[in-house]
Amino acid sequence: MKKLEEYVRSIPDFPEEGIIFRDVTSVLQDAEGLHLAIDTMQEKIKDLEYDVIAGPESRGFIFGMPIAYNNKKPFVLIRKAGKLPCETVSVDYDLEYGKATIEMHKDSVKKGQKVLIVDDLIATGGTTEAMVKLIESLGGEVVGIVVLMELAGLKGRERIRDYRLESAIVYEGK
């Protein structure tokens, strides 16, 4: 049986020279790879008690939904600004070259609910930190974060050091 890392395609010099892009689509395109990814992520948080799973579009949806389904938990969407139809709360955050805004429905997390964040990747931690702020603004308690891949060289873990972070794969570089 292949290791999870073997399903991730590494593309050198993309999007710029010196960067190795870790392509999640190669995991999704392989039934065994996808199964292993979900199972590995679930195994990382099997001891965690939570009420709801939150995930950002679009790859957080891909990994968060099967984990929510398998564990009979609700899944709430975190989306880019302007994509949700009901009343929302939002948070702005910095990107490498600009700013972004993410939103959740105002009624998607109840005060005191324990929330697990699921995403495909943590790099600098900016998006993850923004998701934590958004959930906490609704009174939710972030009890853990699980990602498929962590780019440890970009130090995202330091940005969310007060939260439990589990990574199925850790790449030491950027």
58 vs 170: CA distance, rounded Å: 21
Active site residue 157: no
Given 17, 49, 96, 172, the catalytic residue: 96
Active site residue 96: yes
26 vs 34: CA distance, rounded Å: 9
Strand ranges (E), 81-139:
88-95, 98-105, 114-122
Nearest to 38 by CA among 77, 11, 5, 64: 64
Pull the structure tokens for residue 95.
Answer: 């990107």
Given 59, 79, 129, 150, the catalytic residue: 59
Residues annotated catalytic, as ranges: 59, 96
